[in-house]
Amino acid sequence: MAMEQKEILRRPSVWQPRDPAEAVRLKEAFGPDAVYVAGSTLLRTQWEAGTAVMPPHLIDLASIPGLAGIAEQDGELVVGSLARLDDCRAHPALADKAPLLVEAIKQIAGRSVRNQATIGGNVVYRVGDAMPALLALDARLDWHDGTGSRTEDVSEWLRAPSAAPRVLTAIRLPIAEDAPTSNARRTFAYHKVGRREAFTPSLVTVAIAAASAADGSIADIRIAAGGGQTVPKRMTRAEDALLGKAPDARLLAAVHEAILEDYVPAPDPFAADSYRKKTAANLVVAALWKTFCRPAEARG
């Protein structure tokens, strides 16, 4: 008991669990007096800004072995939650099979922050700029709740986040394999608009993952939009309007309308809703136009 008192006096203390179950037990024991910490880059900005107070106990998830790997497994890419953003950005399997995610990560903060920040932290934040890409890629999340692992769709986490003391252990990305005989073409687009060209918080981010059939019609499409404090969401009305059709100027005008309605940005004192709605709609429609409507030679 004397040891216990000493530990508690030496605040703030850092706890280094050896597995996710231990991490959850620590969080259950300390409750609101503890926070999970991985790269701590976002937490530091909140502590410095005074929007959050450093609690007396930090639970260091980076101490858990085996959570930082990136591997292909049974037709999925499994990205450990503790993988640093810059390691994700540089990983050949991700560049090959999930270039949309790599493009999104490339535009998050600067390299030094990406050396420290983790993909899991970006997911748990819910408004991280990797999220629209993960939504468009139909990612799933592995959580450890202290007794076992459970997988949930990333859309579920964004729609109704559980507040249970659980640890995100991995992000699963389905690998889209094209049938070797088909002329189907997979395309993606990611666009982030902020106040500066680089190293800037986003105002609007959009991500598109699509597949077109041999006849030029859209066989499969997922469009996600977020940015700033807006929790990313799929633009389902726009997707429905596009499915099975070959986009032309008229269809894209309807898609533009659909996004203006579907995209509801979180309040921002410095950027009007109308501006951000228009930006999201313009980014999506411009990307679709470039991919599906420009003559093939212009696409290079």
Question: 160 or 198: whose CB is closer to another protein?
Answer: 198
Q: Candidates 66, 162, 178, 199: give the one binding another protein (CB under 8 A).
A: 199
The b-or-e profile of 261-297 (16+ CB within 10 A means b, else e) is ebbebeeeeebeeeebbbbbbbbbbebbeebbbeeee
Residue type, 84: R
Is 26 an interacting residue with respect to another protein (CB under 8 A)? yes
Token representation of residue 165: 């003391």
Q: Candidates 2, 4, 53, 297: give the one binding another protein (CB under 8 A).
A: 4
Question: 39 or 228: whose CB is closer to another protein?
Answer: 39
Only one of the segments 42-50, 141-149, 206-214, 279-287 lies at the binding site for another protein (rule: CB under 8 A); that segment is 42-50
Token pair 């106040």 is found at 195
Only one of the segments 113-121, 217-225, 237-245, 266-274 lies at the binding site for another protein (rule: CB under 8 A); that segment is 113-121
Q: Candidates 160, 198, 249, 296: give the one binding another protein (CB under 8 A).
A: 198
Of 65, 74, 38, nearest in space to 172 by CA: 74
Only one of the segments 9-17, 180-188, 230-238, 271-279 lies at the binding site for another protein (rule: CB under 8 A); that segment is 9-17
How many Å apart are CA 134 and CA 117, to the nearest integer? 17
Is 214 an interacting residue with respect to another protein (CB under 8 A)? no
Is 52 an interacting residue with respect to another protein (CB under 8 A)? no
Q: Which residues are CB-contacts of 104 (< 8 A; sequence separation ≥ 6)?
A: 129, 130, 132, 133, 190, 192, 205, 207
Alpha carbon separation from 296 to 151, 289, 290, 300 (Å, rounded): 40, 12, 10, 7
Token representation of residue 222: 């997922």
Is 244 an interacting residue with respect to another protein (CB under 8 A)? no
**What are the residues binding another protein (CB under 8 A)?**
3-4, 7-8, 10, 12-18, 22, 25-26, 29, 39-41, 44-45, 48-49, 54, 58, 60, 62-63, 86, 106, 109-113, 115-116, 198-199
